[in-house]
């Protein structure tokens, strides 16, 4: 594989026991793009994401960040380049929003030393960018799911990364908050020149927000390219076993996918 992305995946293999979960995955992820990773449950999407920041170690192939093998980098050095928005944003302890966002500065702090004035300024700016500065002193375990997700995204931004990995970022959110969160992430990617990798099962949402889509099928890279090129009727039938149509939303001009099916003898589309 020719290198050249900010994040390069080369012939990546990952197994659980005798089961191959990722089979020779190769991809160049470009600086500044929003990449969506799609595929059915159990295809290896989250496993791939965990290999991208060394939470898992590949059994074959490698992941390169700016030309450096991730396996040769320390966790702190990786955290200075990659931040993560995890699938669950539940936090049981009564940290304030400022505390949570400030945790994004930990990769830049020496042991037993608190936040510097620069750390505090970056934390404040991250809260301003994500629209939660007015919530800075609220306890995060009293907030709604959408508010907590904004705080988690602010923590990722405070980490001043080049790359943000997002695992099902809208999974537990109401529909209006799903749009809010992804609108925010798209703006932050543009304003901060971030590369964003989103794992999701939500075809319409990923289609709307991503520059490119990586489709995984039977643990292999099945297709990669623009939403128009990847989400064809044939590909969606093969990978998801659904009848679906890629189209432009006539009201907004944005990409979307319409799904077709039947329930109780009645046809429907969403």
Does residue 125 sit in the same domain as residue 12? no
Q: Is residue 258 part of a domain?
A: no
Domain containing 41: what range? 1-81+161-224
- The pair of three-digit structure tokens given for residue 12, joined into one six-digit string: 């990546």
CA distance 217 to 219: 5
CB-CB contact of 83 with 165 (8 Å): yes
Does residue 5 sit in the same domain as residue 68? yes
- Check residue 4 and give its pLDDT: 64
Does residue 76 sit in the same domain as residue 95? no
Number of domains in the chain: 2
- Check residue 270 and give its pLDDT: 47
Q: How far is CA 219 from the centre of its chain?
A: 19
Residue 5: which CATH number? 3.40.50.300
Does residue 203 sit in the same domain as residue 149? no
Q: Is residue 183 part of a domain?
A: yes
Q: Is residue 62 part of a domain?
A: yes
- Check residue 263 and give its pLDDT: 46
Task: Encode the chain (270 residues) as per-residue pLDDT tens digits.
Answer: 445 679 999 999 999 999 999 999 999 999 999 999 999 989 999 999 999 999 999 999 999 999 999 999 999 999 999 999 998 766 777 899 999 999 999 999 887 677 889 999 999 999 999 999 999 999 998 888 889 999 999 999 999 999 999 999 988 888 888 899 899 999 999 998 999 999 998 888 889 999 999 999 999 999 999 999 999 999 999 999 888 888 988 888 888 888 886 444 444 444
SS3 171: coil
- Check residue 55 and give its pLDDT: 95
Give the H/E segment covering residue 151.
Answer: helix 145-158
Does residue 7 sit in the same domain as residue 66? yes
Does residue 56 sit in the same domain as residue 113? no
Ramachandran angles phi, psi of 27, nearest 5°:
-165, 140
Does residue 69 sit in the same domain as residue 9? yes
Does residue 32 sit in the same domain as residue 156? no
Buried b (16+ CB within 10 A) or exposed e, 123-137: bbbbbebbebbebbe
Does residue 106 sit in the same domain as residue 155? yes
Ramachandran angles phi, psi of 9, nearest 5°:
-105, 125
- Check residue 73 and give its pLDDT: 95
């Amino acid at each position: 594989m020719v290198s050249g992305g900010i994040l390069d995946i080369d012939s990546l293999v990952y197994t659980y026991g005798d089961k191959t979960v990722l089979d020779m995955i190769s991809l160049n992820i470009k600086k500044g793009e929003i990449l969506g990773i799609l595929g059915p449950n159990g295809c290896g999407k989250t496993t791939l994401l965990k290999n991208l920041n060394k939470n898992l170690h590949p059994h074959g192939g490698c992941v390169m960040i700016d030309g450096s093998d991730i396996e040769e980098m320390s966790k702190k050095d990786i955290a200075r380049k990659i931040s993560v928005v995890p699938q669950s944003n539940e936090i049981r302890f009564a940290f304030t929003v400022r505390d949570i966002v400030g945790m994004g500065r930990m990769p830049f702090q020496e042991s037993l030393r608190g936040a510097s004035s620069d750390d505090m300024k970056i934390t404040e700016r991250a809260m301003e960018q994500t629209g939660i500065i007015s919530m800075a002193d609220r306890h995060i375990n009293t907030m709604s799911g959408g508010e907590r997700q904004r705080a988690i995204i602010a923590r990722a931004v405070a980490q001043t990364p080049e790359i943000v990995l997002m695992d099902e970022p809208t999974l537990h959110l109401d529909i209006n908050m799903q749009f809010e969160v992804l609108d925010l992430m798209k703006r932050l990617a543009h304003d901060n020149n971030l590369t964003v990798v989103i794992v999701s099962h939500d075809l319409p949402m990923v289609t709307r927000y991503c520059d490119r889509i990586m489709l995984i099928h039977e643990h292999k890279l099945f297709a990669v390219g623009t939403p128009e090129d990847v989400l064809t009727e044939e590909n969606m039938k093969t990978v998801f076993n659904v009848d679906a149509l890629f189209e432009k939303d006539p009201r907004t001009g944005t990409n979307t996918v319409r799904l077709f099916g039947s329930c109780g003898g009645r046809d429907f589309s969403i």
